[in-house]
Structure 1
């Protein structure tokens, strides 16, 4: 068995996220994802078909941002984690979201960890 960590870091999306009146308009959210990916054995070839193609994670996050508003960062993190765990090779996922423009002196975020039940 071979275990890798696949990382999507600092993806900036404009989306509707929040519960306050000033959050009705889309705002900048930064998303980072770390996935523990398990393969049957060491990689034999230098080919994309051998590994998790992380494009599905980026595309899924962009689609979520465009298609639906979220009231809570926690709910957004859960949706992203479920997306990642949709690939059976992903054993563990850590998702972090940050609303960077809420306060002039700090970002506000959420981080969750979810693991596949084996």
Structure 2
């Protein structure tokens, strides 16, 4: 069995996220995802069909953040984790979201770790 960590790091999306009146407008949110992916054995070919194509995570995050606003970063992290764990090869996922511009002197974020 082979175990890999597949990473999507620093993915920026503009989305509605928050509970405060000033967060009604879309804001910049930075998303990072680490997925522990298990394959039945060593990879035999240098072909995308052999591995998890991380494009599905990027596309899925873009769709999630475009289709509805989120009040809480915790809920957003949970939704992204669920998206990743929908692929049976993903055994563990860590999702981090950061509101990059909500405060002038700090970034605020949330992180979740889930596994099968």
Shorter chain as normaliser: what TM range? over 0.9
The runs of 5 or more residues in structure 2 that have no matched partner are none
Map 1:1-118 onto structure 2 (within 5 A).
1-116=1-116
How big is the shift at 1:19?
A: 0.3
How big is the shift at 1:81?
A: 0.1
Separation in 1 of the partners of 2:65 and 2:88? Answer: 24
Separation in 2 of the partners of 1:27 and 1:60? Answer: 18
Residue by residue over 1:32-83, the C-alpha shift from the partner in whole angstroms, topping out at 9 and shown as x without a partner, is: 0000000000101000000000111000000011110000000000000000
The runs of 5 or more residues in structure 1 that have no matched partner are none
How big is the shift at 1:105?
A: 1.1
| 1:104 partner SS | coil
| 1:9 partner SS | strand
Give the ranges of 4+ consecutive aligned residues of structure 1 lying more than 2 Å apart after TM superposition: none
Residue by residue over 1:70-112, the C-alpha shift from the partner in whole angstroms, topping out at 9 and shown as x without a partner, is: 0000000000000000000000000000001011111000001
If the length of structure 2 is used for normalisation, what is the TM-score?
0.99
